[in-house]
Amino acid sequence: MLAALALGLSACGSGGDEPADLVAGKQQFVEKCGACHVLNRAETKGVTGPNLDDAFRQSLEDGMNRATVRGAVHDQILYPAMLDAKNPVYMPPKLVEGRDAVNVAAYVAAVTGRSGKDTGALAAAVEAVGSGEPAVAENGVLEIPAAPGGQLAYVTDKASAPPGPLRIDSPNESSVDHNIALELESGDEIGEVVKDGGVSTIEVDVDPGTYTYFCSVPGHREGGMVGELTVKE
């Protein structure tokens, strides 16, 4: 597979060493790619596509340099290769283009396979998510926004509400599809999938207890888009 990607690089010439903006690259990666890919330094947890820390580990150990990895990632963004012909899963082409594609490829190549956390400007590039203040219902409405940066998380993984009729709104400013769903004994209540400022809404009637809310878009719950709703007087 990597051999094919490396060939793609020489064929398309994607500038493995032109200057790039890694901070912008990280932001775009988190928003446009992270819902499908694990990348430790970007703290993304998507499981639809391959783990991007593992993807280049062997090649880097074998001596491939990061500029070549960068070219391979750039090519994959513009002209996604199918990795497993027996189990064809495609990656959408051109999720980012132009400078954005250059920046994303440079960021991925700079951090792939690295443990620990980003530091300096890169650490501040993307707001941490998921551990915000618990959401509390007001007047029968609970608001649980999706992470605005596109991560697989709601802004909080804890919510509370009194028993009775409850509307849950989940605004999603990011460009990644998300919704809100709630596990109930009678079957899951599932809101509409939205993005770009849409609001996913469900209306339920809840008894005291604990419930799980989650995003039902495939792979998103597994990636961390899940939280706990506590219902009590």
- Binding region for ligand HEC (CB under 6 A): 1, 32-33, 35-37, 48-50, 52, 55, 73, 76-77, 82-84, 89-92, 95-96, 104, 108
Backbone angles phi, psi at 23, to 5 degrees: -65, -50
CB atoms near residue 81 (< 10 Å): 13
CB atoms near residue 205 (< 10 Å): 11
**Which one, 50 or 148, has the nearer CB to ligand HEC?**
50
**Which one, 32 or 41, has the nearer CB to ligand HEC?**
32
Work out how close the CB of 10 gets to ligand HEC at its nearest, in angstroms, rounded to a whole number.
Answer: 17
Work out how close the CB of 158 gets to ligand HEC at its nearest, in angstroms, rounded to a whole number.
Answer: 28
Kindly state the DSSP code that residue 192 receives in the 8-state scheme: P
**Which one, 122 or 206, has the nearer CB to ligand HEC?**
122
Work out how close the CB of 214 gets to ligand HEC at its nearest, in angstroms, rounded to a whole number.
Answer: 18
Burial 5-27 (b: 16+ CB within 10 A, else e): bbebbeeeebbbeeebbbbbbbb
Work out how close the CB of 31 gets to ligand HEC at its nearest, in angstroms, rounded to a whole number.
Answer: 9
**Which one, 86 or 133, has the nearer CB to ligand HEC?**
86
Evaluate whether 202 touches 168 at the Cβ level (below 8 Å): yes
